[in-house]
Amino acid sequence: CTLACREDNTRMNCKMTTYAFNILFAYFTFLLVVMPNADMTHLVNAQVTDSRIVGGKVVNIIQYPHQVSLRERNASIPEDPYDHSCGGSIYSDRIIITASHCVDDTESNELMVVVGTNQRDGVDGVIVPVKEILMHEEYDEELEDNDIALLVLAAALPINNFTIKPIELTEVQPQAGDIATVTGWGLNAEGQIPDFLHEVQVPIVSNVICDERYAGGITDAMLCAGLLDVGGKDACQMDSGGPLLVNGKLAGVVSWGIGCGQPYYPGVYANVWYLLPWLRATIAEVEEALLNEDY
């Protein structure tokens, strides 16, 4: 099976950590030895190559004006030196919210953000370099726990509340069954990288059920969503760091999952509600530094 962070697959296509592998290996052994007659369909399905936002449709940036395309320097393509690698969300004219795994081991001068466009490539939107990367201090790259980060921009975004607009953070914990919306430029059902922004709706899945499906490893800092036992709709590679909205507010950040759109495995997101204390404290520090012109 493949445990994949939903990041640009040129950097991190399929990442199986030692911790997760041990958990899944023990789980599979239990099913094979203790429950030899167990239905193994979901284990076979989990082996399907990550290929699919999945089951979504094209949308205009005016529908999701907080959406960010995070571009990373790619020296191997001189004619287009910055590739879309992850998504993100506009919090303010100088602050972007994304996933820690999108920017881990990356220097700020290797990144820029593009806003105000639904196109994955090109420069028809507004381009701003990243000044500083602030990852959650307790981010665990093996568990993908606390998978959230802030990007401080080198210049202010031209907020127009039409194609470029901040997103509000949720102040309530999403409940199982709530309908969430995920947006991004991730791989689609045909395994292709779309040129235009897509959206998909998926229900929130309780952490208890999600933890059972993953045989452990789901923490309070994570949020799960997907069509259980149906599949076909999910985030995927290159959607990482992008927004999951509930009631029009940022409730999750695309993080990881086994496959994309798999019936047995929901997608996993950083839980914005649980991470609010860190977000508020870190944002306050950044805003004070900006006020003092320390950036």
Catalytic residues, by residue number, are 101, 147, 240
- Residue 189 to residues 50, 71, 141, 268, Cα–Cα distance (Å): 10, 23, 27, 19
Q: How many residues does the chain have?
A: 295
CA 230 – CA 266 distance, rounded (Å): 10
CA 104 – CA 124 distance, rounded (Å): 28
**Cβ atoms of 22 and 256 closer than 8 Å:** no
**Cβ atoms of 150 and 284 closer than 8 Å:** no
- Residue 269 to residues 43, 88, 122, 219, 241, Cα–Cα distance (Å): 22, 13, 28, 11, 9
- CA-nearest of 217, 188, 177, 11 to 99 is 11
Long-range contacts from 24-32, C-beta under 8 angstroms, 24+ separation: 24/215, 26/215, 27/215, 27/216
CA 287 – CA 295 distance, rounded (Å): 10
- CA-nearest of 207, 214, 223, 212 to 270 is 223
CA atoms within 13 A on the CB side of 85: 23
